[in-house]
Copies of this chain bind each other. A is one copy, B any other.
Amino acid sequence: MAKQVVPESDRRRRRPTKQGGVLSHALIVETALRMLREHGSGGLTVRRLGTALGADPSTLYRYFRGIDELTLAIGDELVGRALRGWEPSGAWRADLRELGLRIHSAYLAHPQAAVLTASRVTGRSHEVAADEAVLGLLRTAGFPDASAVRIYQAFIDQSLAFAALDAASLALPDAARRADEEVWRATYARLPAESHPHIAATAHLLVERMNRSAYPTALEMLLDSAEAQLAAVPGRAPGAGGRTPGRSAPRRGGGTAPQAGPRGGRPGRLGGDG
């Protein structure tokens, strides 16, 4: 058995599969993404993936140490897509908004994959870039370091957390999702006003809203609060951010746009058991 997986960059001999395909990390990840889309978040299995690639299942262990490592690679791919082509405009609020929405929608473009990876620490290459960018936006905007770090963490985690939550809904099989929506409509829309006055009074609004992600709202609220905090910083004029709710500001170029740095990860937080 292979004790060590050969890193992609060191691969020389590419031997075609019995069915003629030539494997690579990229091809495997891509195929895995397709399989997740087609078979749902539980549909990624080594056997099936092997079949789809026209290779023996065990072959995959030449490329990844196990299915977990493959999962992380998939997550890394999603993060990479989120940042691809992004450039700051110079208006911190608009930039943060766009960054958040990009991360969110990159995950939601592959909900089944996002379910598996969004709340996982990838420990891979694209995260440092995003972190540096966010911190840069905040510090350049004038936030003191302590605030910048606090807000940065809330921003990043909020984006990932909502991505995971929203992906879970999207990843449900169509039938199950429709059934869930029906339950919602049937239950909430009919709660008697005596027992649940507030739900009853707003049922129409609830039914209408509940099919949309709350992330844009939550993000905007976070930016509101940040902007207010910035205005309160001594020696600073209020209203420094680009206030353009729901739309991204035009690009102005310049600013901080770091590329992917060395490996790093968002480690586990809080103390607790295993």
Interface residues of A (CB under 8 A from B): 37, 40, 108, 111, 115, 119-121, 123, 128, 131-132, 135-136, 139, 145-146, 148-151, 153-154, 156-158, 160-162, 164-177, 180-185, 187-188, 191, 195-199, 201-202, 205-206, 209-215, 217-218, 220-222, 224-226, 228, 256, 258, 261-274
- List chain B residues, Cβ under 8 A from A171: 274
Contact of A165 among B119, B149, B210, B256 (CB under 8 A): B119
Contacts of A157 in B (CB 8 A): 162, 165, 213-215, 218
Residues of B within 8 A of A195 (CB): 258, 261
> Does the CB pair B145–A201 fall under 8 Å?
yes
Name A172's closest neighbour in chain B (CB-CB). B268
A132-B196, A184-B267 given; name 11 further pairs at CB < 8 Å: A120-B168, A139-B198, A153-B217, A157-B214, A157-B218, A158-B161, A172-B274, A180-B267, A218-B222, A221-B225, A225-B225
Within 8 Å by CB of A149, from B169, B196, B209, lies B209
Cβ distance A183 to chain B, nearest Cβ, rounded Å: 5
Q: Which of the listed residues A157, A158, A220, A274 has the most CB atoms from chain B within 10 Å of its own CB? A: A274
Main secondary structure on A side of the interface with B: helix
Q: Do A258 and B145 touch across chains, with their CB atoms under 8 A apart?
A: no
Q: Which residues of B contact A272 (CB under 8 A)?
A: 108, 111, 170
Q: Is the CB of B268 within 8 A of A197?
A: no
- Contact A267/B221 with A150-B209, A228-B228, A274-B171 known, Cβ cut-off 8 Å: no
Asked whether, in the complex, the Cβ of B174 is within 8 Å of the Cβ of A274, the reply is: yes
> Who on chain B is nearest to A137 by CB?
B198
Residues of B within 8 A of A267 (CB): 169, 177, 180-185, 210-211
Most buried by B among A120, A158, A191: A158
B265–A168 contact, CB under 8 A?
Answer: no
Task: Please state if A158 and B169 are interface contacts (CB–CB under 8 Å).
Answer: no
> Which 7 A-B pairs give the minimum distances between C-beta atoms?
A161-B161, A180-B267, A187-B264, A221-B225, A169-B268, A184-B267, A135-B198
* Selected contact of A214 from candidates B153, B173, B185, B224, CB within 8 Å: B153
Q: List 24 A-B contacts (CB under 8 A).
A: A111-B273, A119-B165, A121-B168, A121-B169, A128-B196, A132-B199, A135-B198, A136-B197, A149-B205, A158-B162, A161-B162, A166-B270, A169-B267, A169-B268, A170-B272, A173-B274, A175-B274, A187-B263, A195-B261, A196-B261, A213-B269, A221-B222, A221-B226, A225-B225
